[in-house]
Structure 1
Amino acid sequence: MTGEYEMTYAHPDSVEGLLQRGRGLGAVRALQDPQVAAVFVYDGILRDWRWDGTDDRSVYLARLVRDLELSPAPIVDQLMGDEDSCLRACDVLELLALAGSDEAREGLRAYVRRGDHWVRVLESVSAGWPAEWWEDLGDVARARIGGEAELPWFCEPWTRFGIEVQSRPSVTRPSLTRLSTADLLTLLADSGTEDATKFDALRALNSREPSEELIPLVPLLGTPDGRRPLPLVRRAVERLGTAAVPAAHGWAQDERAWLAQLGADVLADHPRPEALPGLVEELAEQWAARTWCGPDRTARRLARFGPDAAGAVPYLRRFWLHTPHSHERTAYLEVLAAINSDGLDHVHAESLWDCEENARLLGVTAAPASPETLARIAILRDDPMETPEVRAAARTRLLDPSSLRQA
């Protein structure tokens, strides 16, 4: 969560509080009373109600502006604010333009001609819009770029306009994707292999089926100073699942802090039955402290116990209802389903309106096949503002006859 304002979230059952949190119910209730909701939608663009940078809001807010038939004019005016405020407005206006708003499109094009943060805006629209919507701004870009303190970093749209960009020196390394798994493991085991090559080897391994032969090599995969693991090591170990547990007992006792922490995390992610009461208590303490970052990891550990973790259900429901950290909301719903899926149909349906892409993906997959939810899935399939992943999932759901049977 960023910004110059002191952020106090409204009650989680009010329209204002629901919209601040990006809940699907907030969007549904906003459509029932657009006049009341309008001020909260604009406020969600003006002020950054995201708990941190991993939360999504742009599609959610842009869709509300369109569906409530609100004017883009206040959002265009917001472009003239500081850089963060400008870019929040830019994200929403880009999407509104894709949905057919000429006012949004022309507002952004006009800002490129005169706005202070025009470089970031032009880079953003060139990534999200068809080229014919922005490539005629080349004369403007060439005229204005001389007034910038430094050259831009990115290629588009600058190279198309013949504008020099900064380049980071790089060394082209041969691809390791054609090597066998055995050869990749040999590179990782060799103390003479450079860290950059080990990184490439781990990236190649992470695109394949997990290999248990990696396990004895993990202690060798720290940085030269011994302070942290090489990039992608943690991901490689996580993909091994329970196969890494026996070795993790030894790692957890290692004098190297990074390896001890990795071992402890593996053991915590695969808890024994006796760990269940402690995990429920941990989640309860996180709720009592209103800890919004991190309870999703505790929740996922509880999911492994299935119905035996029923004691965690009240806390999981409270987190799902109240958290302002929308990125974690999907985890709570997935864990609730793993413990006891009874009564979750309406929650999965609400997720079709959620601000988070992962929540909408879950809703597309799990929402019951009622006429209302199928109609919503069809809207997501055809919405030009929606992400490609959600559109594809909605298309797949609607093409599968078995998924269309009403619950």
Structure 2
Amino acid sequence: MFDPDIAPSGTLLGLLQRGRGDGTLHALAAQRAEALVALERCVLSDPRHDWRVESRSLYYARLYSELEGPLDGIEQHLFHPDGLLPDAVASVDEYRCGLALSVLGHLAGYGRRDALHLLRRYAAVGGCWEWALDELAVRDDDAGLCVLGTAVLARFPQTEEGDAQLAAAIRDAYEPRPWRLWAENTDGSVDPAVAARVRKASEQTSFDRWQRQMRPTGPTPGWSVRAVLDWAQQGLDAYPAQYRDAPAARCLAAVAGLEDRPELIDAARGGPDAARAAALRHLADRQDPEALDLIESAAADPSETVARAALESFERMRGTVALDRARAWSPREDALGAAAARVLACRGDHQDTQRVLGALRRLVQREGADAAGLAVLVEGTGRLSIGCASPVLRHVYRETSSSQLRGIAAQALAATDPSFAAGFAVECLWDCEETTRELAARHAATADVRVLAQLRRLAADPAEEAEVQTAVRGRLSSGEPAR
């Protein structure tokens, strides 16, 4: 994904970019102008490494509401010429405007009419109009959506290609409500020509879906071990390359018998890269006695396809034999040693605590708090209740730029750090991730006067997730004494 520029964790901007609860608390205590500048920078330049798994929009929208922030900066950003190009690359356009549109959606849900009007305008003329329309679909009234029908349909020329694009837009819509309103036109508020065209495109979408189900397309292998291995290799040799080793391994599960084992072992030992990777995956999934030795050899192979398949296959293996091999490999300083540590973090027992802790410390020291594979080790320290891991877990919590990893670190701290309830758990009530707020609602010590007040705010907030509100209300109704 993208590699954003993240400020140090001790600054207001760095806290807000990470989505930490302390970011909100510091912003509310800072000068309003300073807080708004930092907040606007976060919204206009998405700080997330992967917007598909990290939350920020509700977090920023709540802070906009608390600071009564104006939307001029968001408006200028959305209606900049770069955001209005009809042929803009979709992924870049979503990255540039998606967070701002989501923040506007939450603000509209909080009753900000200026945010609602901005979304309507952008849905009519903006490059990332589908996102804006999805936000409006769950927050605007029928009248507001019906007015947009003509502007949206004007994007699709009345040609064969335009009709196909319209059908694809209807099929891919995350929220179908606007399209249904336009098609049904129950009160006559939509242009009849618009309604008829949407109905026709919707019918074509349903027919196309039925055709795809009845006549699946795409390359398929022959019905033999050799044909499957050749199919996997043909994909890798194509341009652009198609990585078929994982689906090929699933096909091998259906076609391979005991008599094919020698051929598969030979392929896993020295076959072409994709065929070798597919055979490795299949043998590991079947817990073949030779699989671990083959994996050890393949993990050091210069081919990325082979090495990746070996490591992924090993991490999926179960049983005591695989665990014993993981214990033997975990001291290694290479990729296989790192994979072994992750296996122990997921499936090891208390005899593996020092191995997991050592791997966690080494990875953080070498690659920092955003290292690849760190989440598995952090989660493992919590699963194994490794109390002496608390210092490094606190470091990961403070420094990581991934709100998803910070939430995992918070869960591990809840299991290992006795001071969590009176410390980080309080801050987590304002965190950007719903799972982290839910964790905080269950653990935060109510001796801090801010805790009960925030719990009541979360309980009354219509935008809060149901799981968080369930935890909050359970905590408020428990009548437990302050800790």
| 1:344–1:224 Cα change, 3 Å | same
Contact 1:248 1:267 in 2 (8 A): no
Q: Which amino acid in structure 2 is aligned with residue 140 of structure 1?
A: A
| 1:260–1:117 Cα change, 3 Å | closer
Match of 1:299 among 378, 385, 402: 378
Structure 2: runs of 5 or more not aligned: 84-92, 184-197, 215-247, 254-276, 280-284, 296-309, 323-341
Match of 2:209 among 168, 171, 179: 168
Distance 2:478 2:289 in 1: 48
Shift, 1:317, TM fit: 0.8
Contact 2:345 2:381 in 1 (8 A): no
Secondary structure in structure 1 of the residue aligned to 2:74: helix
Match of 1:49 among 47, 50, 53: 47
Shift, 1:122, TM fit: 1.2
Shift, 1:302, TM fit: 2.0
Distance 2:350 2:476 in 1: 40
Distance 2:294 2:177 in 1: 47
TM-score (norm 1): 0.74
Give the share of equivalent positions with the same residue, in percent: 28
Residue 400 (1) aligns with residue 415 (2):
no
Shift, 1:399, TM fit: 2.7
Q: Which amino acid in structure 1 is aligned with residue 401 of structure 2?
A: P
Distance 2:290 2:343 in 1: 10
Contact 1:251 1:259 in 2 (8 A): no
Alignment of 1:2-401 (within 5 A): 2=2, 7-33=4-30, 34-53=32-51, 54-80=53-79, 81-82=82-83, 83-84=93-94, 85-129=96-140, 131=142, 133-146=144-157, 150-151=165-166, 152=169, 153=171, 154=173, 155-162=176-183, 163=198, 164-165=201-202, 166=205, 167-169=208-210, 171=213, 223-225=250-252, 253=292, 260-263=314-317, 268-288=345-365, 289-292=367-370, 293-306=372-385, 309-370=386-447, 371-401=449-479
Structure 1: runs of 5 or more not aligned: 173-220, 230-236, 238-246
Bigger relative contact order, structure 1 or 2 (CA pairs below 8 A, ≥6 apart): 1
Distance 1:8 1:332 in 2: 22
Secondary structure in structure 2 of the residue aligned to 1:345: coil
Secondary structure in structure 2 of the residue aligned to 1:7: coil
Output the aligned Cα RMSD. Answer: 3.0
Instruction: Single out whichever of 368-377 and 320-329 deviates more from structure 2.
Output: 368-377
Instruction: Single out whichever of 269-278 and 332-341 deviates more from structure 2.
Output: 269-278
Distance 2:143 2:443 in 1: 39
Instruction: Single out whichever of 160-169 and 369-378 deviates more from structure 2.
Output: 160-169
Instruction: Single out whichever of 67-76 and 255-264 deviates more from structure 2.
Output: 255-264
Aligned residues: 336
Cα-to-partner distance string for 1:120-163 (whole Å, 9 max, x where unaligned): 32133214555454244233333444376812123442233121
Distance 2:250 2:139 in 1: 38
Q: Which amino acid in structure 2 is aligned with residue 89 of structure 1?
A: A
Distance 1:356 1:260 in 2: 31
Distance 1:130 1:248 in 2: 57
Q: Which amino acid in structure 1 is aligned with residue 376 of structure 2?
A: R
